Amino acid sequence: MRSAIALIAALTLASCAGKPSVDLAQNYLPKRGTIIPNTVLKVSPTVSIPLEKLVYWGALVGTVYLVLDPLAPNWEIEEAPLGDEYIHFSLQMKRYYAGGAGEARALFHRRAKELMRLNEFDTYTVVEYTESLDSSMLGSQRKAEGVVLLGKKTKPLPPA
């Protein structure tokens, strides 16, 4: 979504590059009245919506969508190997979210199991795990950290 906005902005700036500077207020904005015309959209014979309200609600919904971004993952995971068998996880949740606040531990274990299987280990042990809530002026942000020990099962010796 952000890349699409950046692309539109770049194309807009590129299209203006070859033109002489133009006073936007002189050529594109109405000389009198408002920018949004006083128009009513008739949806049906009994239902009509003022264009002003449509623009207002569209801008509001677009802003909320950009802030919440429901398609982005709720958690960001950073991993740091500590030797061959220890892995440190750092999880950070989006600052503004709509759900998923209690899933840090499940996500932690899911990623530990995934790394265990990918690296051909048999077991993992959670050595350390903490959850916290960092507050700031823009709102609180959930964080979780932990260390996992990956291990192989010891095979018993065959009977003599």
Query: Which of the 8 DSSP states describes residue 32?
Result: S
pLDDT above 90: percentage of residues in the chain:
26
**Does 151 score more than 80 pLDDT?**
yes
Is 0.75 surpassed by the pTM of this model?
no
- Burial class from Cβ neighbours inside 10 Å (0-12, 13-18, 19+) for residue 61 reads exposed
In the predicted model, what is the mean pLDDT of residues 1-19?
59
Q: How many residues does the chain have?
A: 160
% of the chain surpassing 70 pLDDT: 74
Domain ranges of the chain: 24-68, 75-151
The DSSP result for 88-123, as a single string, is EEEEEE-SS-SS-TT-HHHHHHHHHHHHHHHTT-SE
Q: What is the pLDDT of residues 73-112, one digit of tens each?
A: 788 899 999 988 899 999 998 877 766 777 889 999 999 9
For the cut 70, the answer to whether the pLDDT of residue 32 exceeds it is yes
| CATH, domain range 75-151 | 3.30.110
Please report, as a single letter, which amino acid is at residue 7.
Answer: L
From the number of C-beta atoms within 10 Å of its C-beta (0-12, 13-18, 19+), residue 93 rates as buried
Average pLDDT over residues 136-142: 81
Q: How far is CA 111 from CA 39, 92, 103, 125, in A?
A: 54, 14, 12, 13
